[in-house]
């Protein structure tokens, strides 16, 4: 059994719907399908979800939104007409507009793209339609109730051969709609795959799997044939955004592999993500490189820090008190560095520095801004001597200074910090050293 999720670009217009239908019906194992809302049809187009967000803002401000809502509805009508789908959405449109005028919650409005696309796709495929509001359970405060969700999905699908379940949203016990973060249809698909114990979770998008580096930096970056969920987690955390990072947990727990595929190139096998994999078939020492700009390092120095009981806890207490989480914690005998995202630190930076001084009386404290972090990830790294040395040499030969180093105990990744201005050059240097060999 296969659960297949299709992203917004895969369902942006009638021609994309045709591709999806051909893909789904080409394999009888694709029994359950999770659609996103229609995405952009071209670079200058707008996503339906973005338009719905605008409708929600206009409605909240008591400003006219009818014309914009009609633009959204007409997009669905054109898809239905061009495909010859014998389903009328007029009653759905009327109900949605009525709810919006009655001050419906934002999540309800924003989720209607998935809901309406699900209606169209189910009719086009000849599959049952199941509203995610009846299956994906949230608490009133917006927390996903996983076990209840799994139970409801399993019960609903037990007697059905095929079904379409819209992604991105669910509801609480009072029927109030809640949504995941943007890109959350990936999570919906993974929840369904877990609930029915699927053999495979397919995530169809507009890219042919993961690349070994950001193609905006390394234009000809190779595709990754296979990686593990742990490698995916490391790469996603550092900015590789093909798959919503929270989507890995439901399928990872079940040991269900995820296949990233391209709707516009369905013959390509894409990237297969599995719970575990050996290193015997690894083509390169590394699996991939990912990174992000926008970090700051706070350096704390104090003689005999290592013998001062509770020193590290007190430093981190200063961050916790202001609701700021840290990313990395490189340490030495008399030094401790805390790496934090700029967007979290900036509003509280002065207060946190003052609090650290109060709590631990450091000999010196300095703040370094405009840092980029780069993660070099790969299960093959553990079997190759000198990997770290090659990485550091690759960066240094480009005249780039490494500001911080962090390597996990699993030896799955090495994270280095460089100046933001050196970010792209450093990524290219690492790729050239480990892949262009």
Is 277 a residue whose pLDDT tops 70?
Answer: no
Evaluate the CA torsion angle 389, 394, 399, 400 in order and state its sign.
Answer: negative
Contact 52, 203 (CB under 8 A): no
Q: Do domains 2-206 and 288-434 have the same CATH topology?
A: no
pLDDT, mean of residues 326-332:
87
* Number of Cβ atoms within 10 Å of the Cβ of 143: 11
CATH, domain 288-434, list 3.30.2130.10, 3.40.718.10, 1.10.1370.40, 3.30.70.1450: 3.30.2130.10
- Is 142:197 a contact under the CB 8 Å cutoff? no
Q: What is the CA radius of gyration of the chain?
A: 24
pLDDT of residue 237: 76
Residue 436 pLDDT: 84
Q: Enter the DSSP assignment of 224.
A: P
57, pLDDT greater than 70 = yes
pLDDT tens digits, 132-142: 999 999 999 99
Architecture per CATH, domain 2-206, reads as 3-Layer(aba) Sandwich (3.40)
Which position has the token pair 């560095």? 337
**Cβ of 66: how many Cβ atoms within 10 Å?**
12
DSSP state of 137: B
Q: What is the mean pLDDT of the chain?
A: 92
pLDDT surpasses 90 at 383 = no
Cα–Cα distances (Å) from 126 to 31, 121, 155, 287, in that order, read: 11, 8, 21, 40
Q: For 392-412, what is each residue's pLDDT tens digit?
A: 999 999 999 999 888 765 668
d(CA 15, CA 85): 13
pLDDT range class, residue 75, cuts 50, 70, 90: very high
Residue boundaries of the structural domains of the chain: 2-206, 288-434
């Amino acid at each position: 059994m296969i659960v297949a999720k299709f992203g917004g670009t895969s369902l942006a217009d009638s021609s994309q719907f045709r591709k999806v239908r051909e893909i789904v019906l080409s394999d009888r194992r694709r029994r359950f399908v999770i659609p996103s809302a229609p995405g952009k049809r071209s670079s200058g187009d707008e996503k339906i979800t973005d338009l719905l967000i605008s409708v929600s803002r206009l409605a909240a401000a008591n400003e006219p939104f009818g014309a914009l809502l009609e633009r959204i509805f007409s997009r669905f009508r054109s898809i239905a007409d061009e495909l010859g789908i014998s389903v009328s959405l007029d009653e759905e449109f009327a109900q949605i507009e009525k709810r919006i005028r009655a001050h419906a919650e934002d999540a309800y409005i924003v989720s209607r793209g998935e809901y309406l696309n699900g209606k169209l796709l189910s009719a086009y495929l000849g599959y049952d339609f199941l509203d995610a509001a009846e299956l994906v359970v949230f608490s009133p405060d917006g927390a996903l109730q996983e076990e209840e969700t799994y139970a409801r999905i399993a019960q609903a699908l037990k007697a059905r051969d095929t079904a379409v379940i819209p992604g991105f949203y669910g509801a609480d016990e009072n029927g109030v709609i809640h949504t995941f973060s943007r890109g959350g249809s990936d999570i919906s698909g993974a929840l369904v795959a877990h609930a029915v114990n699927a053999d495979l979770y397919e995530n169809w998008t507009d890219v042919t799997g993961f690349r070994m580096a950001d193609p905006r930096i390394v234009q000809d970056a190779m595709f990754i044939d296979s990686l593990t969920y742990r490698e995916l987690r490391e790469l996603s955390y550092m900015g590789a955004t093909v798959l919503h990072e929270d989507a890995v947990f439901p399928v990872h727990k079940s040991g269900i592999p995820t296949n990233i595929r391209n709707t516009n190139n369905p013959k390509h096998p894409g990237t297969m993500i599995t719970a575990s994999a050996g290193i015997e078939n690894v083509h390169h020492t590394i699996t991939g490189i990912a990174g992000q700009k926008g970090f700051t390092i706070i350096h704390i120095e104090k003689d005999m820090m290592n013998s001062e009981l509770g020193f590290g806890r007190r430093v981190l207490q200063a961050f916790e008190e202001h609701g700021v989480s840290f990313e990395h914690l490189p340490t030495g005998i008399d030094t401790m560095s805390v790496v934090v995202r700029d967007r979290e630190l900036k509003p509280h930076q002065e207060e946190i520095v003052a609090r650290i001084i109060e709590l631990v009386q450091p000999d010196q404290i300095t703040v370094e801004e405009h840092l980029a972090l780069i993660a070099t990830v790969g299960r093959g790294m553990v079997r190759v001597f000198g990997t770290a040395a090659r990485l550091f040499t690759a960066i240094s030969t480009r005249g780039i200074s490494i500001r911080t180093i962090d390597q996990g105990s699993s030896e799955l990744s090495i994270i280095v910090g460089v100046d933001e201005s050196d970010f792209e050059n450093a990524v290219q240097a690492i790729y050239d050293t480990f892949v262009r060999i």
